[in-house]
Amino acid sequence: MTKRKVSDRYENKKEAPVAKGKVLAIGGKEDKGTNELKEEQRRNKSFITEEILKRFVSELKGDNPMVAVVPTASSIPDEMAKDYEEVFHGLGVGRIEVVDVRNRTQARDGAFLKIVEQAAGIMFTGGDQLRLTAIFGGTPLLELMKERHTYDDIIIAGTSAGAAAMSTPMIYEGETVGGYIKGDVRITTGLEFLKDVAIDTHFIQRGRIVRMSQAIATNPGCIGIGLEEDTAILVTEGKNVEVLGSGLVTVVDGMGISRSNIYEISTGEPFTVCDLKVHLLSKGERYTLPTYDQLHL
């Protein structure tokens, strides 16, 4: 897909810069070289041990690159950070720092800013994505991460909640099983490394296609990306998607919706949406996110 222009009226307008950094969004439970995914390895002939995290490491730039682990989303940040430190050390990363931010004051700490400034890669762990947006939103630390993602060849990764927070809009809660009732899918602004994209994780395992459909029905200008466990997307230039891992990526495209009653029904009622387009993509597939020319920075 190519960029879509709204019109040719402003031929000399300034466009927003294309992001130089990469985003790696992981659906959760990525293989870390343990026996956790032994059954998946037995059943799936395309399974590769530690494939996603190995790719993260291979994308790091520079001599002796440093990885910053951000366990903020987790309720057990010390344990989560230790797990990733062990995994990355095992994959040959010599320099690992933990950005152990637990409140908004710490998101202004100069020591953490220095780590982010020097990092070749940043890894957001799983947990609760609302913790990430509530703690990092509007802080110098997040602004520095966005600047580096825009202008530097850095890779910013997140798994589970860390992946869900990468995008805007961000799904952070669904009350009913399936999310088929209007108002049960709650959405807020994510960290905005990807715009006009909604990411949901553990997608097939937890049956989240309907809640994603509601999110897209209310935001049809966005693309929904459903990530299954041990499955990821690597996004370059803010739009070019490569599928990694042992499962499927589900793409939900609502731009061609012909009819929806989501704006007519009352909260608490089931919704209707027609002509959603769905793609199922396996490892190695590529997809280009449809984007408009940026009308403002």
pLDDT digit string, tens, across residues 45-76: 555 689 999 999 999 999 999 999 999 999 99
Helix (H, G, I), strand (E, B) or coil at 167: strand
Helix (H, G, I), strand (E, B) or coil at 107: helix
pLDDT computed for residue 71 by the predictor? 98
Query: DSSP strand E in 116-221: where?
Result: 121-124, 155-159, 167-168, 170-174, 185-188, 194-195, 197-201
Whole-model pTM?
0.90
Alpha-carbon gap, residue 277 to 80, rounded angstroms:
37
- Cα distances from 272 to residues 179, 182, 248, 276, in angstroms, run 12, 10, 26, 11
pLDDT computed for residue 83 by the predictor? 96
Q: Please say whether the structural domain 22-287 has been given the CATH code 3.40.50.1000.
A: no
Q: Give the CA dihedral 242, 235, 131, 111, nearest 10 degrees.
A: 130
Angle, CA 71 vertex, CA 68 and CA 76 arms, to 5°: 145
Q: Cis ω on the peptide bond leading into residue 71 (within 30° of 0)?
A: no
Angle, CA 64 vertex, CA 63 and CA 66 arms, to 5°: 120
The pLDDT tens digits along the chain (297 residues) read 445 554 455 455 556 678 999 999 999 999 888 666 555 555 655 556 899 999 999 999 999 999 999 999 999 999 999 999 999 999 999 999 999 999 999 999 999 999 999 999 999 999 999 999 999 999 999 999 999 999 999 999 999 999 999 999 999 976 556 789 999 999 999 999 999 999 999 999 999 999 999 999 999 999 999 999 999 999 999 999 999 999 999 999 999 999 999 999 999 999 999 999 999 999 999 999 987 655 444
pLDDT computed for residue 2 by the predictor? 45
Q: Are 283 and 243 in contact (CB under 8 A)?
A: yes
For the chain, domain boundaries: 22-287
